[in-house]
Structure 1
Amino acid sequence: MFTIATFNLCNLTANASPSRFERFGAIITNELGGPAVLAVQEIATEGVTPSRTPVPADPTYRALIAAIAAAGGPNYLYREIPPLAGQEGGMVGANIRVGLLFDPIRAHLIDRGDSGPEDSTGIRLSAGSPSLILNPGRIAPTHPAFAGDSHRHWVPSRKVLVAEFTVAGRALFVIVCHLKSMRSLSRREEDYTKKQRHAQAEIIHQFATDLLACDPGAAIALLGDFNDVPGSKTLKLLKGERLHNLLDDQPRGQCYTRRHGNQPQALDHILISDALRHGATAYIPHINSNLRPGQREAASDHDPVLAVLPALAPHNQELKTPVSFARASG
């Protein structure tokens, strides 16, 4: 069974404790069943870096991949586009960004072009099929909604990563987001934040719409930490009429991915196009948000979200379901 997941790793650096990497390895391998594609947020770097210098996080990815392999998971590859120092928001000095881990046996990626932090990818139509000009690439990284705009009181925020995979002979477009944080110090600042997040959502949705205009049957997964909840304007803008949020199918009492002031929230989402909807199911293992005081330390302040996408399973492939998913749905 083809699976894809999203996981906010809470400012994970290569200098994190070995036990934290071990927990992530166990979660990704056992709770998520080693998804074919894993979108990650808040991969971080440490150290002082000159402003506007690219800051790759290769040691962090390598340590995470090693922990997953040690737990019995896939031998992942990774892709990111390193941000410019101080231009992605988040914890000061961490230079958090989004990235992708993928199992090359199940999801094949052909790198195309040499995309930099401020380069925007586009869509090329060839023989009736869309493809990315830069793969992986960023979506409108210099737009004020992502780069910041002092006149609108917008600050630099995480950029969007998009990648084109080949899965069972067809193209899969994966769009990874970590939208502007909800944290605000005043009502006015909260209003600025919402407007920036809504602008980000409109840009991302337009890119997905452009793919679907080229091919109405395009397979698109839009996932990550959207920093907003189901039913919000942000989610409505992202979904539009062409995408479906798999969390909308979840029982109300199980639909959350973190807690704020002990109140459950669903901030992490997986949206899919119609081509992927047949039999698609989501699962949220509450391995972090349900920990009680005195229990082991949470690996992250977010739970992952897993999607099973039967539409992408090869016809001759034995269908396998993650143990935790089978337990939850059986």
Structure 2
Amino acid sequence: MLSIATFNLCNLGADAPPARLAKLGAIAARDLGGPDILAVQEIMAETPPMPDGQVPADLAYQALSAAVVDAGGPRYEFREVPPLLHRDGGMAGANIRVGLLFDPLRVGFPDRGRAGPEDSTGIRLNGGRPSLTLNPGRIAPLHPAFAGDGPHHWAPSRKTLAAEFELRGQRLFVIVCHFKSMRSLTRREEDYAKKQRHAQAEIVYYFAADLLACDPRAAIVVLGDLNDVPGSKTLKILKGDLFHNLLEDLPRGQGYTRRHGGRPQALDHILVSPALRLGAAAHIPHVNSDAGPGKPEPASDHDPVLARLPVCVNLDA
């Protein structure tokens, strides 16, 4: 079995308080069992940009990885495509982005090309099977749904990251999302945000569907903070007729990942392609959303979601 998790880290930077880093490391190592792959959202970097305008977050990933090791978890490597300064939305000046951490003793990562923040990865056939032209790479980062668009009243948003892993001769495609925020001041702004999420979901769905068109047995995971709930139009578009949301298999009352005004919400999801559905199962440790009076300060405003998938891992690596 392969373990994979998604976790919104709530604007985590390298300068996070040691106590918060320790909590996050313990969640990854103990509550999630040190997943083979950990997809993260809201990794931030406030450092001055590189000469090319990119803002990498290496120090934040390294701090998180060290915290996981200190808690008894694996020594993760990481991959990302750094954003351009102030181009991906989120908290002002934070330059938040999505990224991937993985255990190199369990899975392989065939790096391919050097994707820039405005480069879009594509799909090519290699030996009759699909692979990514850039690994990792962004999906349509210049599309108005991600880059922003004045006429639609769409703001710049986090870009989606696609990655390809190797697991004992098998390929696993992982697509990490952090769709447009639900935050809005008016009903009109809320409608604009919904339509932007719908457009983002459509782009990601068709990219994943193209992978399946090349290989109907392709192992694909689409996951992240989708900023919408099961049954919403966003999730219906993203699922289409091809993907299954593992949160839908959880017992009633268990499938929430945060609270808004005290009410539970499911905003973080893991969707799988048909090849992974049989035997796949999700689990949500409510380590943050159930925090309250008399309990320790939560490490994030979201719970992680963990999935175990029927994929052979390379234990001999």
Calculate percent identity across the aligned residue pairs. Answer: 67
Amino acid at match of 2:160: V
Residue 43 of structure 1 corresponds to 43
Q: Residue 165 of structure 1: SS of its match in structure 2?
A: strand
Instruction: Spell out the pairing of 1:154-303 with structure 2 (5 A cutoff).
Output: 154-303=154-303
Q: Residue 24 of structure 1: SS of its match in structure 2?
A: helix
Q: CA deviation at 1:251?
A: 1.2
Q: Residue 189 of structure 1: SS of its match in structure 2?
A: helix
What is the CA–CA distance in structure 1 between the aligned matches of 2:30 and 2:312, rounded to whole Å? 20
Do residues 313 (structure 1) and 316 (structure 2) align?
no
Q: Residue 151 of structure 1: SS of its match in structure 2?
A: coil
* 1:292-320 residue CA offsets vs partner (Å, 9 max, x unmatched): 123211000000000011x2035x969xx
* 1:88-137 residue CA offsets vs partner (Å, 9 max, x unmatched): 11100100000000011111001100100000000001221000000000
Q: Residue 173 of structure 1: SS of its match in structure 2?
A: strand
Amino acid at match of 1:281: A
TM-score for both structures, normalised by structure 1: 0.93
Residue 128 of structure 2 corresponds to 128
What is the CA–CA distance in structure 2 between the aligned matches of 1:182 and 1:137, rounded to whole Å? 25
Q: CA deviation at 1:49?
A: 4.8
Tell me, yes or no, if the aligned pair for 2:48 and 2:55 is still in contact at 8 Å: no
Q: Residue 151 of structure 2: SS of its match in structure 1?
A: helix
Q: Residue 231 of structure 1: SS of its match in structure 2?
A: coil
Q: Residue 8 of structure 1: SS of its match in structure 2?
A: strand
Tell me, yes or no, if the aligned pair for 1:50 and 1:85 is still in contact at 8 Å: no
Amino acid at match of 1:312: V
What is the CA–CA distance in structure 1 between the aligned matches of 2:226 and 2:142, rounded to whole Å? 19
TM-score for both structures, normalised by structure 2: 0.97
What is the CA–CA distance in structure 2 between the aligned matches of 1:130 and 1:313, rounded to whole Å? 19
Q: Residue 312 of structure 1: SS of its match in structure 2?
A: coil
What is the CA–CA distance in structure 1 between the aligned matches of 2:51 and 2:285, rounded to whole Å? 38
What is the CA–CA distance in structure 2 between the aligned matches of 1:108 and 1:84, rounded to whole Å? 28
Q: Residue 23 of structure 1: SS of its match in structure 2?
A: helix
What is the CA–CA distance in structure 1 between the aligned matches of 2:194 and 2:2, rounded to whole Å? 34
What is the CA–CA distance in structure 1 between the aligned matches of 2:265 and 2:293, rounded to whole Å? 19
Instruction: Spell out the pairing of 1:37-186 with structure 2 (5 A cutoff).
Output: 37-47=37-47, 49=49, 53-186=53-186
What is the CA–CA distance in structure 2 between the aligned matches of 1:272 and 1:80, rounded to whole Å? 21
Q: CA deviation at 1:52?
A: 8.1
Instruction: Spell out the pairing of 1:22-41 with structure 2 (5 A cutoff).
Output: 22-41=22-41
Tell me, yes or no, if the aligned pair for 1:10 and 1:42 is still in contact at 8 Å: yes
Q: How many residues align?
A: 316
Amino acid at match of 2:159: K
* 1:235-284 residue CA offsets vs partner (Å, 9 max, x unmatched): 00000000000000011211100000000000000000011112100000
What is the CA–CA distance in structure 2 between the aligned matches of 1:47 and 1:171, rounded to whole Å? 35
Amino acid at match of 2:93: G
What is the CA–CA distance in structure 2 between the aligned matches of 1:208 and 1:240, rounded to whole Å? 11
What is the CA–CA distance in structure 1 between the aligned matches of 2:160 and 2:83, rounded to whole Å? 11
Q: Residue 190 of structure 1: SS of its match in structure 2?
A: helix
* Structure 1 unaligned blocks of 5 or more: 319-330
Q: Residue 253 of structure 2: SS of its match in structure 1?
A: helix
Tell me, yes or no, if the aligned pair for 1:179 and 1:226 is still in contact at 8 Å: yes
